[in-house]
Amino acid sequence: MEPWQRAFLHPCVAHRGWSGGAPENTMAAFRLAISEPAVHWLELDVHLSKDDVPVVIHDSTLNRTTNDKGRVRDRTARELSRVDAGSWFHPVYAGEPVPVLEQVLALAAGRCRLNIELKEDGPDKDRLARNVTQLIRRYCLERDVVITSFDPALIAAAKKHLPVVETGLIVDKRSARLMDKLRSLGASNLSIEYRSVNASLLKEAEAAGIRIMAWTVNDRRDLSRLVAMPQPFQICTNYPDRWLAAVQEGAGSRA
């Protein structure tokens, strides 16, 4: 199989942007990812700010990835724009802020597709889904976005507010009647921990019309093994360069 065929079969999804090369979920990481022509997907995480603006950050608190502490939900989007979300990764990224979702939509429009994970610990699930889908509609990206979540309620809310958008459930591992659960949610995508991806799952998903994304694959040997598989699925990674190397090398041509 040629490298371009492997890249087509197993598209790279840049996890929180190119988060192995820049601070996760920042504009720097997203710009770095789309600078690689072979990367056609970005994955990102969204919470609501205090003033109900969708903001891009993985955790519900600022503690791990910024120079501040406290809950994201307790800060306005303007306040979050003043937080340093880059220094923890490397001094060159000092001052990199927590972006709002609208910035990422504007960057990606016409250049890259998005996998937007909805994350909400509080009671505002419907509000989060509504505000995110409103932005997607405003940027006319309904066909260029997949909305995903571990929480089925958030998937249902997204479908309610924007029926045409693709949705997906995120799971750690395969469970009984998983495809039936996806159908009941109206979801067409499954994001699953990469160690659960095998020929049996892929066959079941294909029969059900479900697209698979394997997360989060960073080890070079795992990437080589997965890109050698003949079935189509996405590969989510912090290191698009390692994915590209695996695609180009074609190591382990049989799975």
Residue of 10, 15, 47, 161 marked catalytic: 15
Cα 158 to Cα 136: distance, rounded to the nearest angstrom: 11
Cα 49 to Cα 55: distance, rounded to the nearest angstrom: 6
Strand, helix or coil for residue 149: strand
Provide the residue count of the chain: 255
Nearest CA among 5, 77, 10, 81 for reference residue 39:
10
Cα 216 to Cα 20: distance, rounded to the nearest angstrom: 12
The CA–CA distances, whole Å, from 16 to 24, 50, 95, 179 equal 5, 22, 18, 26
Residue of 10, 47, 58, 161 marked catalytic: 58
Q: Is 58 among the residues known to form the active site?
A: yes
Q: Is 15 among the residues known to form the active site?
A: yes
Q: What amino acid positions are annotated as catalytic residues?
A: 15, 58
